[in-house]
Amino acid sequence: MQDAGVTVAPIRILDAAPRALVGESPVWDEATGRLWWVDIRAPALHRTDPATGATETWPLAEPVGSLGLCRSGAVLLALRSGIHRFDPTDGTLDLLAAPERDRPANRLNDGKVSPEGRFLVGSMDDRPEKAATGALWRLDPGARDCALLADGLIVSNGLAWSPDGRTLWHSDSRASVIWTWRYDPATGAATDRREVARPDAATGRPDGAAMDAEGGYWSAGVSAGRLNRWMPDGRLDRVIKLPVAAPTMPCFGGPGLRTLFVTSLRPADGRATPRDGTLLALDPGIAGVPVGRFAD
């Protein structure tokens, strides 16, 4: 696949923040001006001040795939055992739903709160040799069971919504495919899945993602050390090279949502760089779309 608009943007490395094994799920908290994120493999929830890198950390007892902020100030955590409501003031966990009790080889992975306040989360086969046992789930406010939106996935990833909230973007990292769905904010239904792109490893297998105000989908190219901006017509519009081998997810934050924060992991396949596992911050030249808060 031919690159379009490959750039090397000025990038700030938040060296004072913890260096993760598998950093993931950055979420901007506009109320506090802090960035929430997780480390999947050294399980912890982090909250970082991007100005200084100073970080508060809550260790967790099991792998955590993603998080979502709640309107109450609590945090949703997608742990291996299910979706929990976490109170950062006292450290209590309340299990809300366990959609995959019958899939012991799986764990929950990428998740995000929809613009209207639902939590969507996907799963993945956590074994080295992966099968298509993953799924995409939706948790509605007040519910204790999840609705199944899609099945037969290997590594569900890349959730983001268009600026009008009516198109859901979604990917499978291991199958290396990006889709869009027609999304109904009134019901949370996702229908009419459409394939947008199948990037190869050199372009970047699609990991976590974020949406900008023009409808561009910023996907972490985890196999290629870069961010890819995809358009709804399947065009690769822009590429930003990064100083890490394996970026995992971007998130818009900061004043006016004009900063892209990016988490990363430390690869074990010989691609290591000195900055792997760090948090990055850069100016992509465009504002992002706010991420919703769970209506708890």
Task: Say if CB 94 and CB 82 are below 8 A apart.
Answer: no
Q: What are the backbone dihedrals phi and psi of residue 232, each rounded to the nearest 5 degrees, phi first?
A: -60, -25
Element (H, E) at 136: strand 134-139
CA distance 82 to 59: 17
| Residue listed under structure tokens 């808060």 | 293
**Six-digit token string for 51:** 């100005």
Task: Say if CB 121 and CB 260 are below 8 A apart.
Answer: no
Concerning whether 207 is annotated as a catalytic residue, the answer is yes
Residue in 126, 172, 207, 212 annotated catalytic: 207
Residue 19 is given by DSSP the state: P
Task: Say if CB 88 and CB 74 are below 8 A apart.
Answer: yes
CA distance 126 to 230: 28
Task: Say if CB 237 and CB 243 are below 8 A apart.
Answer: no
**Six-digit token string for 72:** 């109450």
249, exposed or middle or buried, with CB in 10 Å at 0-12, 13-18, 19+? buried
Classify 133 as helix, strand or coil: coil
CA distances from 32 to 17, 35, 48, 241 (A): 17, 9, 10, 30
Catalytic residues: 207
